[in-house]
Amino acid sequence: EGLEEVTEKLPEGLEEVTEKLPEGLEEVAEKLPEGLEKVAEKLPEGLEKVAEKLPEGLEKVTEKLPEGLEEVAEKLPEGLEEVTEKLPEGLEKVAEKLPEGLEKVTEKLLGSKQNKKTKNHQTKPLGKPKKNQNQIHQRHSQSSRNYQPI
Protein backbone atom coordinates (compact mmCIF):
# COMPACT_ATOMS: atom_id res chain seq x y z
CA GLU A 1 0.00 0.00 0.00
CA GLY A 2 2.75 2.48 0.98
CA LEU A 3 4.92 1.61 -2.00
CA GLU A 4 2.05 2.17 -4.44
CA GLU A 5 1.36 5.55 -2.87
CA VAL A 6 5.01 6.58 -3.15
CA THR A 7 5.17 5.33 -6.74
CA GLU A 8 2.06 7.33 -7.66
CA LYS A 9 3.32 10.53 -6.02
CA LEU A 10 6.91 10.26 -7.27
CA PRO A 11 6.38 11.93 -10.68
CA GLU A 12 4.49 14.80 -9.02
CA GLY A 13 7.25 15.24 -6.43
CA LEU A 14 9.99 15.18 -9.06
CA GLU A 15 8.10 17.74 -11.12
CA GLU A 16 7.84 20.03 -8.08
CA VAL A 17 11.57 19.68 -7.36
CA THR A 18 12.40 20.33 -11.00
CA GLU A 19 10.25 23.48 -11.00
CA LYS A 20 11.73 24.86 -7.77
CA LEU A 21 15.36 23.88 -8.38
CA PRO A 22 16.31 26.77 -10.69
CA GLU A 23 14.74 29.27 -8.28
CA GLY A 24 16.60 27.74 -5.33
CA LEU A 25 19.91 27.71 -7.19
CA GLU A 26 19.39 31.31 -8.21
CA GLU A 27 18.76 32.27 -4.58
CA VAL A 28 21.96 30.47 -3.50
CA ALA A 29 23.91 32.17 -6.30
CA GLU A 30 22.60 35.57 -5.20
CA LYS A 31 23.59 35.00 -1.56
CA LEU A 32 26.94 33.39 -2.31
CA PRO A 33 28.88 36.59 -2.99
CA GLU A 34 27.48 38.10 0.21
CA GLY A 35 28.52 35.01 2.19
CA LEU A 36 31.96 34.92 0.60
CA GLU A 37 32.34 38.62 1.30
CA LYS A 38 31.61 38.02 5.01
CA VAL A 39 34.14 35.18 5.09
CA ALA A 40 36.72 37.36 3.36
CA GLU A 41 36.07 40.19 5.84
CA LYS A 42 36.43 37.96 8.91
CA LEU A 43 39.31 35.83 7.66
CA PRO A 44 42.13 38.29 8.47
CA GLU A 45 40.67 38.82 11.95
CA GLY A 46 40.47 35.05 12.50
CA LEU A 47 44.00 34.48 11.27
CA GLU A 48 45.20 37.29 13.51
CA LYS A 49 43.59 35.63 16.55
CA VAL A 50 45.23 32.33 15.65
CA ALA A 51 48.60 34.06 15.27
CA GLU A 52 48.14 35.80 18.63
CA LYS A 53 47.25 32.59 20.48
CA LEU A 54 49.77 30.35 18.74
CA PRO A 55 52.79 31.33 20.86
CA GLU A 56 50.76 30.82 24.05
CA GLY A 57 49.60 27.41 22.85
CA LEU A 58 53.09 26.36 21.82
CA GLU A 59 54.42 27.58 25.16
CA LYS A 60 51.93 25.33 26.98
CA VAL A 61 52.99 22.40 24.84
CA THR A 62 56.69 23.02 25.47
CA GLU A 63 56.01 23.42 29.21
CA LYS A 64 54.16 20.11 29.42
CA LEU A 65 56.43 18.20 27.04
CA PRO A 66 59.23 17.45 29.54
CA GLU A 67 56.65 16.28 32.09
CA GLY A 68 55.07 14.00 29.51
CA LEU A 69 58.42 12.63 28.37
CA GLU A 70 59.42 12.05 31.99
CA GLU A 71 56.22 10.07 32.57
CA VAL A 72 56.93 7.96 29.49
CA ALA A 73 60.52 7.39 30.64
CA GLU A 74 59.29 6.31 34.09
CA LYS A 75 56.79 3.81 32.69
CA LEU A 76 59.01 2.48 29.92
CA PRO A 77 61.12 0.10 32.05
CA GLU A 78 57.97 -1.37 33.62
CA GLY A 79 56.46 -1.88 30.18
CA LEU A 80 59.64 -3.43 28.80
CA GLU A 81 59.89 -5.69 31.84
CA GLU A 82 56.34 -6.91 31.23
CA VAL A 83 57.16 -7.58 27.58
CA THR A 84 60.37 -9.46 28.41
CA GLU A 85 58.56 -11.53 31.06
CA LYS A 86 55.89 -12.60 28.58
CA LEU A 87 58.23 -13.02 25.60
CA PRO A 88 59.41 -16.60 26.36
CA GLU A 89 55.83 -17.76 26.87
CA GLY A 90 54.78 -16.11 23.63
CA LEU A 91 57.70 -17.58 21.70
CA GLU A 92 56.91 -20.99 23.16
CA LYS A 93 53.33 -20.74 21.89
CA VAL A 94 54.59 -19.70 18.47
CA ALA A 95 57.05 -22.61 18.41
CA GLU A 96 54.26 -25.04 19.37
CA LYS A 97 51.95 -23.83 16.62
CA LEU A 98 54.58 -23.29 13.93
CA PRO A 99 54.75 -26.88 12.61
CA GLU A 100 50.97 -27.08 12.34
CA GLY A 101 50.86 -23.71 10.62
CA LEU A 102 53.61 -24.63 8.17
CA GLU A 103 51.84 -27.90 7.41
CA LYS A 104 48.61 -26.05 6.62
CA VAL A 105 50.43 -23.56 4.42
CA THR A 106 52.26 -26.35 2.61
CA GLU A 107 49.01 -28.23 2.02
CA LYS A 108 47.39 -25.10 0.63
CA LEU A 109 50.34 -24.33 -1.63
CA LEU A 110 50.99 -27.84 -2.90
CA GLY A 111 47.59 -29.41 -2.36
CA SER A 112 47.14 -32.34 -0.04
CA LYS A 113 47.95 -35.82 -1.28
CA GLN A 114 44.38 -36.92 -0.58
CA ASN A 115 43.08 -34.30 -2.99
CA LYS A 116 45.43 -35.36 -5.77
CA LYS A 117 45.19 -39.14 -5.38
CA THR A 118 42.29 -41.45 -4.71
CA LYS A 119 42.29 -45.20 -4.03
CA ASN A 120 41.66 -46.09 -7.71
CA HIS A 121 43.56 -43.25 -9.35
CA GLN A 122 47.22 -42.38 -9.31
CA THR A 123 48.67 -39.24 -10.78
CA LYS A 124 50.54 -39.60 -14.04
CA PRO A 125 53.89 -37.92 -14.66
CA LEU A 126 53.85 -34.88 -16.90
CA GLY A 127 55.56 -34.87 -20.28
CA LYS A 128 56.49 -37.67 -22.67
CA PRO A 129 57.15 -41.14 -21.28
CA LYS A 130 60.86 -41.93 -21.04
CA LYS A 131 62.33 -44.67 -23.22
CA ASN A 132 63.89 -47.57 -21.44
CA GLN A 133 67.60 -48.33 -21.87
CA ASN A 134 66.97 -51.21 -24.34
CA GLN A 135 65.13 -48.96 -26.75
CA ILE A 136 67.91 -46.36 -26.61
CA HIS A 137 70.70 -48.93 -27.24
CA GLN A 138 68.72 -50.62 -29.99
CA ARG A 139 68.25 -47.34 -31.81
CA HIS A 140 71.94 -46.35 -31.59
CA SER A 141 73.18 -49.76 -32.68
CA GLN A 142 71.30 -49.57 -35.98
CA SER A 143 73.26 -48.31 -38.95
CA SER A 144 72.07 -45.26 -40.82
CA ARG A 145 71.05 -47.47 -43.81
CA ASN A 146 68.73 -49.74 -41.94
CA TYR A 147 67.54 -47.18 -39.39
CA GLN A 148 63.94 -47.63 -38.40
CA PRO A 149 62.09 -45.43 -35.95
CA ILE A 150 60.98 -47.13 -32.78
| Per-residue three-class SS string for 29-50 | HHHHHHHHHHHHHHHHHHHHHH
DSSP per-residue codes, 81-140:
HHHHHHHHHHHHHHHHHHHHHHHHHHHHHH--HHHH--SS--PPPSSSPPPPHHHHHHHH
> pLDDT higher for 96 or 119?
96
pLDDT bracket for residue 65 (50, 70, 90): very high
Candidate from 32-41, 70-79, 106-115, 131-140 with smallest mean pLDDT: 131-140
Rounded distance between C-alpha atoms, residue 106 and residue 117, angstroms: 17
When pLDDT is averaged across residues 124-138 and rounded to a whole number, the result is 56
> pLDDT higher for 69 or 5?
69
Candidate from 23-37, 56-70, 114-128 with smallest mean pLDDT: 114-128
**Contact between 150 and 135 (Cβ < 8 Å):** yes
143: DSSP letter: -
> pLDDT higher for 122 or 20?
20
The pLDDT value given to residue 7: 83
